[in-house]
Amino acid sequence: MSVLLEASNLKRTYRMGSSRVRALDGVSLRIEAGEFVSIVGPSGCGKSSLLQVLGLLDRPDEGTYAIDGRDVLNLGDRELSELRSHHLAFIFQFFNLLPKTDAQRNVELPLLYQGLPSSVAKERALEALTHVELEQRKTHAPGELSGGEQQRVAIARALAARPRILFADEPTGNLNSEQAEEFLDRLLELNRRGITVLLVTHDEHVASRAPRRIRMLDGKIFSDMGTATPATPEQKEAEERSRPALSLSPKFQENARSAAVSLRANTLRTCLAMLGVVVGTASLITMMAVGAGARAQARERIEKLGANLLMLLPDRGNGDSGSAEPTRLSLDDADALSALSGTDVGLNRVNPVIVLPGATIAKGAVSTSARVLG
């Protein structure tokens, strides 16, 4: 079998307040395709940190790491997401199922991220649930399932994705002994079907079920017991089937499908978000319409006055002329201005106006003061 995972001198340090904790201290290992490997050790030995680095959920501070001969530490986030989606699968201690989504949709979701058509995703999800004997519980939400059944949904989710590598982090921590044995039997069956399995645990009995056991202590590999078992014909066929290039281009349809699944899974939140968008958009449009109407009204009033209107008012005294007496304009002044029509001044028409600011208007016994223009 070929080398599938190869890591050299991996180091990872975490900050905890003012102190620094060395989770990985120069870890090197090689895992061949089709192996079933358990990583065992006490809490804090670095086994979960190693699994996160190997599963591309975290990056080491130092060292090299390659999957199928390809350096993956220099990949961008999009490429890493593509690699995780199409070639890796995870089973966690706390299952990590979507609480408001039924079992079948929990299994379908990774397939939609892969870009599979909805019909194919449903078919493969049902097939995987049938394999773990949960087809009768496919419409039940995680809260309606037992711990063992939730773990089987997690197994079905990993199985439906048809990964090359399966990472399991303390998967039996929330199961009783009978459920744990059933779970390990299913992992061994997946391994026989050609999937490489990496199991992290602190339970010696669980670790002993794997043909190869790696023991960790203080961020280092303390021992590595067991060798890879000979590949079965099924393993060889599965390895050849999953060997296509690890780099996959992102698809718009994949993003659209995953968005649709998320919207359907959270109907109330989706409706509230849509309501907020509608109200916000309507408010914005209304304010823009009011502003446009106000501008149009102001423009209309200005246009009624005339953009080329020039008003000549008499000097009311104590102005620039220095005279204390007010200046009066007469019809002669209007005639003089009219004589300029047609010249370079650009005057078209003169309209003389007289204003009586304090005229009295009376009708019978009623009178009032008004401003009169004539």
Tell me the per-residue pLDDT of 162-194, one tens digit each, with 9 for 90 and over: 888 999 888 887 777 887 888 788 888 888 888
Q: Would residue 69 be called left, alpha or beta, if left means φ above 0 and alpha means ψ between -120 and 50 degrees?
A: left
Matching residue, tokens 């089987």: 152
What confidence score (pLDDT) does residue 287 get? Answer: 93
- Does residue 4 carry a pLDDT above 60? yes
**What token pair was written down for 54?**
């190997």
The pLDDT value given to residue 249: 44
The pLDDT, as a whole number, for residue 100 is 82
Q: What is the DSSP letter of 210?
A: S
Residue pair 41/222 in contact by the 8 Å Cβ criterion: yes
Which residue in the block uniquely carries the two structure tokens 């809260």? Answer: 143
pLDDT band at 321 (very low <50, low <70, confident <90, very high): low
Cβ within 8 Å of residue 147, ≥6 positions away: 174, 175, 179
Residue 256: what pLDDT? 67
Q: Which region among 144-148, 176-180, 264-268, 335-339 has the lowest average model confidence (pLDDT)?
A: 264-268
Which residue, 310, 58, 321, 16, is CA-closest to 167?
Answer: 58
Residue 68 has which token pair?
């199928």
Residue 334, classified by CB atoms within 10 Å of its CB into exposed (0-12), middle (13-18) or buried (19+), is middle
Provide the pLDDT for residue 175: 74
Q: Which of these, 212, 207, 208, lies nearest to 227 by C-alpha position?
A: 212
pLDDT for residue 248 is more than 50: no
41 touches 215 (CB < 8 A): yes
Instruction: State pLDDT tens for residues 207-219.
Output: 888 999 999 998 9
pTM, rounded to two decimals: 0.59
